[in-house]
Amino acid sequence: MLSLCVGCSVNSAATPAPGHVVGNTTGPYRLIQEPDAGYAPITDMIGAATHSVRLVYELNDDAVVQALIAAQRQRHVKVQVLLDAAFHGRQTNQTAYTNLHDAGIDVTWAPSDTIYHEKVLVIDDTSAVVGTGNLVRKYYRSSRDAFVVTTSPADVDPIRATFDDDYGALRSPTHSATPATPGQRLVWSPAGRGPFVDQIAAATTSLDITTEELKDAAILTAITHTARRGVACRIVLTEDPAWNQAINQVSAAGCSVHLLPRSGAPLYMHEKLLLTDHNSLIIGSHNLSTASLRDNRELSLHLDQSCAPDVLAAIATTFEHDYQQAAPAPSSER
């Protein structure tokens, strides 16, 4: 699976940008940027919970596991954990499942035929963390990711409701699928492709993308059309031969694709975001793949300058840093 990008090189100083946690202190959104900020803000939120904790997706970090156990045992917090069983089988999550189950935590597996890729933490029904990253400790130092903390009831309430519906359905004998609870700033999958295509098509001056995967045909068509309209299009991802055809397609339309090395680099691009015109941002668990946009359980936030200007500014700064540090794909060299 490893590949070499002939003619590509990355600046030896390609290290993560200085980390920080940002947010408008008078607004509902706060950004945690990784790997720079570290994952203490996540465990701290669990440690501060007084009523309930809900957690979804991938977990292989004993510090987080112990924080969940302590929340229930020491503070009588109701803890519920939903772990994916489809993407890596149960391999990544098995240790966490066993430790949580043995400690009396309410933990359950998602069905083996559907990937639950949503990366969410809900605290006390009053705040939710929507992320691009996984709580897998071995990736913390090298993975570019971000988490957005929201305290807006318009976000938190439907996120909590969807978790509860999914959790309840998985505990039922039929394991019947449940539709997500809609929210104005929430982009859910299954059936989440539309907002991404619409956002790309709406760009007028700039389109900046980071993603781990780049292969959905509808997304590639939208990017191609947008770049051909003269919109400044830039993409940063980690090199992988699986994306070569897609990279060639969007590069031919005028989009500039920069790549981080697959191996030996201090940074792996795992972040999933779409920033248009420096004014509108979709960020969350969605990769630009058909399975992610159409089939999986996924969640992203759709933010703009009116509600989260500090978040958008920090995302733009970090994107610029990563774009400059990565090397142009051969088909994007001009």
Question: What does the domain layout of the chain look like in residue ranges?
Answer: 25-184, 188-332
- Classified by CATH at the fold level, domain 25-184 comes out as Endonuclease; Chain A (3.30.870)
Contact 18, 332 (CB under 8 A): no
Q: How many whole angstroms separate alpha carbon 179 and alpha carbon 207?
A: 30
CATH (residue range 188-332):
3.30.870.10
DSSP codes of every residue in 209-239: EE-S-B--HHHHHHHHHHHHTT-EEEEEEE-
- CA-closest candidate to residue 116, choices 82, 140, 146: 82
The pLDDT tens digits along the chain (334 residues) read 223 222 333 333 344 554 567 766 568 999 999 999 999 999 999 999 999 999 999 999 999 999 999 999 999 999 999 999 988 768 899 999 999 999 999 999 998 888 999 999 999 999 999 999 999 999 999 999 999 999 999 999 999 999 999 999 887 766 666 899 999 999 999 989 999 999 999 999 999 999 999 999 999 999 999 999 999 999 999 999 999 999 999 999 999 999 999 988 899 999 999 999 999 999 999 999 999 999 999 999 999 999 999 999 999 999 999 999 999 999 997 5
- Count the Cβ atoms, other than its own, within 10 Å of residue 172: 9
| Whether pTM exceeds 0.75 | yes
Query: Is there a shared CATH topology between the 25-184 domain and the 188-332 domain?
Result: yes
Contact 174, 55 (CB under 8 A): no
